[in-house]
Amino acid sequence: MGNEFSLTTDDSRFTFTIADYLLILLSHFIIMNKIILITGATSGFGKAIAEKFAAAGWNCIITGRRAEKLHALATDLQSHYDIQVLPLVFDVQKRSEVFAALENLSEDWHNIDVLVNNAGLALGRDSFENANLDDWDTMIDTNVKGMMYVTKAVLPFMTKRKKGHIINMGSVAGKLVYKEGNGYCASKHAVDALSKAMRIDLLPHHIKVTAIHPGAAETEFSMVRFKGDESKAKQVYEGFTPLHAEDIADITFYCVNLPENVCINDLVVSCTAQADGIYIHK
Ligand code: NDP
Ligand code: 8X3
């Protein structure tokens, strides 16, 4: 009985020892110290994921090419939540930039618990014979090679601790090919394949790998795909309610907060009006 006290004297469920309280306090600090690295945090899913985890007390490494947006988000998160934020500006396509940024992380940031490979884009919707070669290069370099570079640069921090969780942002376009989706669908099929490859190879290191494959979500995605053509971008989401970036942030948070022995490997998620990469009820 020594160090025991209770909130109500006649209910044993509410009896806590000082050790229990110390454990709760300790777990609070363990959560406070957790670190998530999110690529592509200047808009859309990445930004929503950063906001979700920051609100839960996670320290965040956020990345993207648009320095101004990235620094604005860092300032915003730090002013709202009692956390640390490290903004890193680099282009995931550029191998030297990726490794320079991540290999030179100060020791405080080495214990990355979660990596979200989210940076990515689609460019164009053209028939194979009309597709633009530069668009193909950019999609493959960003969605596939960029994801591989970032993962390779972060992995030493995880393998050293024999712990970590990698979340790869795939797409319904990585599960099924649709008309005029050639280069983008290929890049997301590669994300699907690489997620499976990572999951197998990283088993001995106790690293979880989750691939999330969203359907249509209204972010900057279609503005980028249609190169600033607002009416084409808007048309994509007309006649149905698409996913919101916050939906993907909530799902990511759920996947990350499962018990140590549980891993969601592969998760396809769409709005209720969408069946797959092709069928949307409008
Ligand atoms: P957004 O366009 O809103 O966000 C894309 C993010 O990726 C931005 O932060 C952008 O930052 C970053 N990014 C793009 N290229 C690079 C690069 N070369 N280097 C570094 N960062 C880069 O789109 P979403 O949030 O919708 O997309 C996020 C991910 O989700 C992508 O991989 C996309 O393919 C995928 N996805 C999207 C769906 C949708 O319908 N919206 C559905 C399924 C999957 P910056 O420009 O500052 O570099
Ligand atoms: C984005 C969803 O359907 O435009 O990956 O490919 S879709």
Residue 206 has pLDDT above 80, yes or no: yes
Which atom of ligand 1 has the smallest separation from the CA of 243?
Answer: 40
Residue 3 has pLDDT above 50, yes or no: no
CB of residue 76 inside a 6 A radius of ligand 1: no
- Looking at residue 130, its pLDDT comes to 98
Q: What is the CATH number of the domain that holds 107?
A: 3.40.50.720
Structural domain contains residue 14: no
Structural domain contains residue 282: no
Per-residue pLDDT tens digits for 171-189? 999 999 999 999 999 999 9
Residue 138 has pLDDT above 80, yes or no: yes
Total domains in the fold of the chain: 1
- Looking at residue 216, its pLDDT comes to 98
Which atom of ligand 1 has the smallest separation from the CA of 121?
Answer: 34
Structural domain contains residue 105: yes
- Looking at residue 33, its pLDDT comes to 78
CA triple 162-166-172, angle to 5 deg: 155
Per-residue pLDDT tens digits for 45-59? 999 999 999 999 999
Q: How far is the CA of 10 from the centre of ligand 1 (A)?
A: 56
Per-residue pLDDT tens digits for 11-39? 444 455 666 566 556 655 555 579 999 99
Which atom of ligand 1 has the smallest separation from the CA of 41?
Answer: 9
- Looking at residue 25, its pLDDT comes to 60
- Looking at residue 266, its pLDDT comes to 98
pTM confidence score: 0.91
Residue 140 has pLDDT above 80, yes or no: yes
Structural domain contains residue 229: yes
Residue 280 has pLDDT above 60, yes or no: yes
Question: Which ligand is nearest the CA of 223, by number?
Answer: 1
Q: To the nearest whole percent, how much of the chain has pLDDT over 90?
A: 88
Residue 271 has pLDDT above 80, yes or no: yes
CB of residue 131 inside a 6 A radius of ligand 1: no
DSSP run (H or E) holding 221: helix 221-225
- Looking at residue 1, its pLDDT comes to 35
DSSP codes, 230-251? HHHHHHTTTTS--B-HHHHHHH
Structural domain contains residue 276: no
For residues 63 and 147, what is the distance between their CA atoms, to the nearest angstrom? 13
Q: How far is the CA of 185 from the centre of ligand 2 (A)?
A: 8
Ligand 2 contacts (CB < 6 A) are 171-173, 215-216, 277
Structural domain contains residue 277: no
Q: How far is the CA of 120 from the centre of ligand 1 (A)?
A: 4
Provide mean pLDDT across the span 138-142.
Answer: 99
- Looking at residue 249, its pLDDT comes to 98
What values do phi and psi take at 62, rounded to 5? -115, 140
- Looking at residue 8, its pLDDT comes to 42
For residues 195 and 188, what is the distance between their CA atoms, to the nearest angstrom? 10
| Structural domain for 262, as ranges | 22-269
Helices (H) and strands (E) in the chain, counts: 10, 9
Provide the pLDDT confidence category of residue 6 given band limits of 50, 70 and 90: very low
- Looking at residue 21, its pLDDT comes to 60
Q: How far is the CA of 227 from the centre of ligand 2 (A)?
A: 15
Q: Is there a catalytic annotation at residue 184?
A: yes
Per-residue pLDDT tens digits for 67-125? 999 999 999 999 999 999 999 999 999 999 999 999 999 999 999 999 999 999 999 99
- Looking at residue 219, its pLDDT comes to 98
CB of residue 64 inside a 6 A radius of ligand 1: yes
Structural domain contains residue 177: yes
Provide the pLDDT confidence category of residue 230 given band limits of 50, 70 and 90: very high
CB 77 within 8 A of CB 66: no
Give me the chain's average pLDDT, please: 93
Q: Which residue has the higher pLDDT, 1 or 69?
A: 69
Which atom of ligand 1 has the smallest separation from the CA of 216?
Answer: 40
First to last CA, the chain: 65
- Say which of 81, 184, 254, 279 is annotated catalytic: 184
Structural domain contains residue 48: yes
For residues 45 and 18, what is the distance between their CA atoms, to the nearest angstrom? 41
